[in-house]
Structure 1
Amino acid sequence: MLIAQMTDVHIGFDPDARPEELNRIRFGAVLERLAKTPHTLDFLVLSGDLTDHGDRDSFSKIAAVLADIPCPMLPLVGNHDDREELLRAFPDTPCEGEFLQYVVEQDGLRIICLDTFEPGRHGGAFCEKRRDWLRAALASGDGKPCVIFMHHPPIVAGIDWMDPAPDEPWIANFAAAVDGHQDTIQAIHCGHLHRRVAARFRGIPLGITPSVAPLVALDLRPIDEHAADNRALITTEPASYALHYWDGTDLVTHYESCGEWEVLAHYGEHLKPMVREMKAERR
Structure 2
Amino acid sequence: MLIAQITDLHVGFEPDNPDEYNTKRLRRVLETIADGPNKPDLMIATGDLTERGDVDSYKRCAEMLAELPFPVYPIPGNHDLRTNFSRAFPDVPTPGGFAQYTVDTGPVRLILLDTLEEGRHGGAFCEVRAAWLKERLAEETGKPTVIVMHHPPMDVGIDWMRTDPAEPWVARFADAIAGAEQVKAILCGHLHRPIVSPWKGVLTAVCPAVAPGVTLDLRPMDPEAPDLRPMVVADMPGFGFHWWNGTELVSLYDYAEESVPLAKFDTRMQGLVKHLMAERPGAAGHH
If the length of structure 2 is used for normalisation, what is the TM-score? 0.94
CA contact (8 A) 1:77 1:86 kept: yes
One of 240, 249, 252 as aligned partner of 2:250: 252
CA contact (8 A) 1:109 1:248 kept: no
CA contact (8 A) 1:187 1:205 kept: yes
If the length of structure 1 is used for normalisation, what is the TM-score? 0.95
Aligned counterpart, 2:6:
6
Q: Which moved more, 1:144-153 or 1:85-94?
A: 85-94
Matched, 1:243 2:259: no
Matched, 1:113 2:109: no
Task: Tell me how large the CA RMSD over aligned residues is.
Answer: 1.4
Aligned counterpart, 2:262:
264
Residue 152 of structure 1 and its aligned partner are, at CA, apart by 0.5
Letter matched to residue 55 of structure 1: D
Aligned counterpart, 2:34:
35
Aligned-partner SS, 1:97: helix
CA contact (8 A) 1:48 1:78 kept: yes
Residue 36 of structure 1 and its aligned partner are, at CA, apart by 1.8
How many pairs were matched up?
281
Task: Tell me the alpha carbon deviations over residues 172-229 of structure 1, each in whole angstroms, 9 at most, x when there is no partner.
Answer: 0000011111x31111111011111111210111111111101111111111111111
CA contact (8 A) 2:99 2:113 kept: yes
Aligned counterpart, 1:67:
66
Question: What does 1:36-115 align with in structure 2 at a 5 Å threshold?
Answer: 36-115=35-114
Question: What does 1:207-218 align with in structure 2 at a 5 Å threshold?
Answer: 207-218=205-216
Task: Check 1:95–1:272 CA distance in 2 against 1; reply closer, same or farther (3 A cut).
Answer: farther
CA contact (8 A) 2:34 2:69 kept: no
CA contact (8 A) 1:147 1:188 kept: yes
Question: What does 1:15-34 align with in structure 2 at a 5 Å threshold?
Answer: 15-16=15-16, 20-34=19-33
Q: Distance in 2 between matches of 1:213 and 1:127?
A: 28
Q: Distance in 1 between matches of 2:244 and 2:146?
A: 10
| Aligned-residue identity in percent | 47
Unpaired runs of 5+ residues, structure 1, are none
Q: Distance in 1 between matches of 2:96 and 2:14?
A: 33
Letter matched to residue 185 of structure 1: V
Residue 92 of structure 1 and its aligned partner are, at CA, apart by 2.3
Aligned counterpart, 2:183:
185
Residue 164 of structure 1 and its aligned partner are, at CA, apart by 2.3
Aligned-partner SS, 2:96: coil
Q: Distance in 1 between matches of 2:137 and 2:247?
A: 18
Task: Check 1:121–1:93 CA distance in 2 against 1; reply closer, same or farther (3 A cut).
Answer: same
Aligned-partner SS, 1:195: coil
CA contact (8 A) 1:107 1:248 kept: no
Aligned-partner SS, 1:8: coil
Task: Tell me the alpha carbon deviations over residues 53-73 of structure 1, each in whole angstroms, 9 at most, x when there is no partner.
Answer: 111110001111122111111
Residue 95 of structure 1 and its aligned partner are, at CA, apart by 4.5
Q: Distance in 2 between matches of 1:276 and 1:217?
A: 41
